[in-house]
Structure 1
Amino acid sequence: MITISCAFFTLLTCVSGVTVVTQSPLITVNKGQMATLDCNLGTVTSSAAYWYKQTPGGVPQYMLYFYHSDSSPTYGSGFSAPKFTSTHSSKSDYSLIINNVDVGDSAVYYCNTYDGSVMVFGQGTKLNVIDFPLAPPVVTLLSPSTEALKESKATLVCLAEDISVALVHVSWTVDGRSVTDGVWSSATEKQQDKTFRMSSYLTINSSDWINNVDFSCQVSVGSKFTKKSISNSQCY
C-alpha cells in the first residue's frame, strides 16, 4: 500500500502557478449506492488524474491513476475494479467512481495531477456514506468580544453541534459574498451521544463589524444545512 506522510500531503495541497485542481466539497450518498466524485485539472490536459483516500485521523492512501488515453485505471494496493474505477469526459475532466458504497468508504478523496513542475492537489471531496436519515446540524454563530474589537482584527466563531456524520462542509459569506481567506475549521469531534461537533472561525476587520457588515456561516451535511447570520446591529 502506498502512503505519504501528513506533512508531505499538506505541503502538496496547494495551487501551483496558474494550475488549479477543482473538486466538489461534499457528497453524501446512501449505503449501497454509487458515488461519483468529479475532478477538473484546470489547464492541465496532458497528465493523468491521481486519487488518494484519507479517513479521519489516517494517512492518505494512493488509490489509482487514470489517463484519458488509457483503457483502464492503474491501481494502488488494496483498490481494484469493479469497486473502484475512473472515467473522463475531457482531457481535464475526470471522475472517481465508487460502486456499492459502504459506511467504511466515508473519507476525504483527493485528486491531483502533475502540471509539468510539481504535483498539484485539489482541496478534496468529503464523502459521507449513510444508512440513516440525516438531520440539519444545530449552529450557533458567536460575535467577537468587546476586548477583541479593540484590535484591528477580530474573530467570529461558528459552532456546529448535533451533527449526524463525521464530514461536513462549512461556508462563510460577508455581505452575501463567499469568502475563504481568514477561515479555519476544526475537525469534527465525536460526542458521547454519537453525534459530532466542530467549530469554524472567520477572521474579520473590526471596522467591518462596527459598520454593521452582515456575516453568515452555513454548515452542510448532504442536502441538509443550517445557516446563521449575524451583524453588530443584531446584537443590540
Structure 2
Amino acid sequence: MAHTSSPPTEAVQSLSNGVTVLTQKPPVLSVRKGETATMDCNLGTVTSTVYWYKQIPGGVPQFVLYFHYSSSSPTYGSGFSAPKFTSTHQSTKDYRLIISNVEEGDSAVYYCETWDSSAVSHKYFLTDHKTTEIFLPPPVLTVFPPSSAELQSNTASLVCLSSQSVPFADVSWLAAGSPVSSGISTSTAVQRPDQTYQISSSLTIQTSDWNMDKVYTCKVSLGSQTSEKTIKKSECPTE
C-alpha cells in the first residue's frame, strides 16, 4: 500500500568504525490487519547471525528472534514464536523477517542487528527507522468545543481525540481550510487494552474567531489514509 511520507529508499546506519553498514528496508511498510509483513536486512560486509528487535512507542526494545543462514529455524525471544514470526535468508548476508496474520499489537519499530565475528566487542545496530506500520480501519475522531468558561477569555482550546488508531498517526489542524502551524499540543500515543492507540491533540484558538463561526478541522494521517473531523460554533449544542 502506498504511503504519504517520503522516507529514503533505504534505511541505512553507517558505523563509525567503518567495518560494516547494515541496510534495512523498506523504511516504512504499510499493511492491513490479517496480511503478512516482510522486511529485509542486509548485513553489509558481515557474514553472521541476524537479530531482530521490536519496539513500541514509549517501550524498551523486545528481542524477537535470531537466525543464522546455516540454521533450520530461528531462535525466539520470550513471547515470540512460529508461525507468527519467522525469518529466512536469501544469502549469507541477506535476511528477511516475516510477520504473519498482522494484528494491531504488531505495529511497532523493528530493528535488525548483527555481530562482527572478527571483532566481537563491536555490536552493530540499525536504529531509528520505522519499518512496519500496521494500517487499521480509519480512527474514530471526536472534536470537543471550548468550554463556556474558556470562552470568557481571549483564547480557548479545541481538543481532538483520535481513538482506535496506530501509534504512528500524524495529527494536524486546519483553520478555515488552511494548515495551522502554532498553538498545537499533541500527546504521545497511549496503548489501550484492545491493542489500539489513543492520541489527543489540542489547538489554541482566538475566541473571536470561534464566535465568527470559523471552521476548524482535525486531520489524522496514517500513511495514505486520512481522516478528518470538522467543528464550528454553529454546529455545537448550546449549554
* CA drift at 1:222: 3.5
TM-score where L is the length of structure 2: 0.53
* Equivalent in the alignment of 1:107: 108
Aligned pairs (5 A) from 1:3-152: 15-18=15-18, 19-24=20-25, 25-45=27-47, 47-115=48-116, 116-117=118-119, 118-123=122-127, 124-133=129-138
Whether the 8 Å CA contact 1:20–1:41 is kept in 2: the answer is: yes
Equivalenced residue count is: 148
SS in 2 for 1:80: coil
Could you list the structure 1 runs, at least 4 aligned residues long, displaced by more than 4 angstroms after superposition.
194-197
* CA drift at 1:224: 5.9
Whether the 8 Å CA contact 2:46–2:93 is kept in 1: the answer is: yes
TM-score where L is the length of structure 1: 0.53
After superposition, the CA RMSD in angstroms is 3.4
SS in 1 for 2:46: coil
Taking a change above 3 Å as real, the CA distance of residues 221 and 16 of structure 1, as seen in their structure-2 partners, is farther
Whether the 8 Å CA contact 2:135–2:222 is kept in 1: the answer is: no
Deviations 1:18-64 (A, max 9, x none): 3111112211110010000111111112x100011111101111111
Taking a change above 3 Å as real, the CA distance of residues 113 and 65 of structure 1, as seen in their structure-2 partners, is same
Q: Which AA in structure 1 matches 2:67?
A: F
Tell which structure's C-alpha radius of gyration is larger: 2
User: What is the rounded CA distance, in whole Å, between the counterparts of 1:168 and 1:88 in structure 2?
Assistant: 32
SS in 2 for 1:126: coil
Aligned pairs (5 A) from 1:163-182: 165-167=166-168
Once the two structures are aligned, what percentage of the paired residues are identical? 55
